[in-house]
Amino acid sequence: MNPPAWSLVVHGGCGQLTPDTLPGPESQCRAGLSAALGAGKAVLLAGGSAVDAVAAAVSVLEDHPLFNAGRGAVFTAEGRTELDAAIMDGATRLAGAVAGVIRTRNPVQLARAVMRHSPHVLLARDGADVFALEQGLEQVEPGWFRVEGRWQALQAMKAAAARGEDVFDADLKYGTVGAVARDAQGHLAAATSTGGLTGKRWGRIGDSPLIGAGTIADDRSLAASCTGSGEAFIRAGAGHEMGALVRLAGLSAADAAARALVDVQALGGTGGIIFIGRDGVPGWAFSTPGMFRGRATACDEDEVAIWGDEG
Q: What's the half-sphere exposure (Cβ side, CA atoms, 13 Å) at 54?
A: 39
Active-site residues, by number, are: 176
For the chain, percent of residues with pLDDT exceeding 70: 96
In this predicted structure, the answer to whether residue 76 has a pLDDT above a threshold of 90 is yes
Question: How many structural domains does the chain have?
Answer: 1
Write out pLDDT tens, residues 46-59.
999 999 999 999 99
Mean pLDDT computed over 84-101: 98
120 within a domain of the structure (yes/no) = yes
Mean confidence (pLDDT) of the chain: 93
Closest to 99 (Cα-Cα) out of 65, 129, 133, 71: 129
Residues in the chain, overall count: 311
Mean pLDDT for the stretch of residues 212-227: 98
Instruction: For 12-42, write each residue's pLDDT tens digit.
Output: 999 888 888 888 899 999 999 999 999 999 9
81 domain residue, yes or no: yes
Within a domain: residue 168?
yes
What is the C-alpha separation between 28 and 61, in angstroms, rounded? 12
Per-residue pLDDT averaged across 225-240, rounded? 96
1 within domain boundaries: no
Q: What is the pLDDT of residue 277?
A: 97
- The enclosing domain of 163 has a CATH number of 3.60.20.30
Residue 27 pLDDT: 95
- The Cα–Cα gap between 61 and 175 comes to 11
Residues 70 and 106: beta-carbon distance below 8 Å: yes
Question: According to the model, what pLDDT value does residue 130 have?
Answer: 95
Residue 88 has pLDDT above 50, yes or no: yes
Residue 54 lies in a domain: yes
Residue range of the domain that includes 251: 7-307
pLDDT at 228: 92
Tell me, yes or no, whether 2 lies in a domain: no
Task: Write the pLDDT tens digit of every residue in 152-210.
Answer: 988 988 888 888 776 665 455 667 999 999 999 999 999 999 999 999 999 999 999 99
| Structural domain includes residue 254 | yes
Instruction: Judge whether 217 lies within some domain.
Output: yes
Q: Comparing C-alpha atoms, which of 95, 48, 37, 34 is closest to residue 223?
A: 95
Helix (H) or strand (E) holding 259: helix 253-266
- C-alpha dihedral sign at 234, 268, 282, 247: positive
More confident site: 308 or 34: 34
Measured CA to CA in angstroms, residue 136 lies from 51, 53, 59, 101 at distances of 20, 21, 16, 15
pLDDT at res. 74: 94
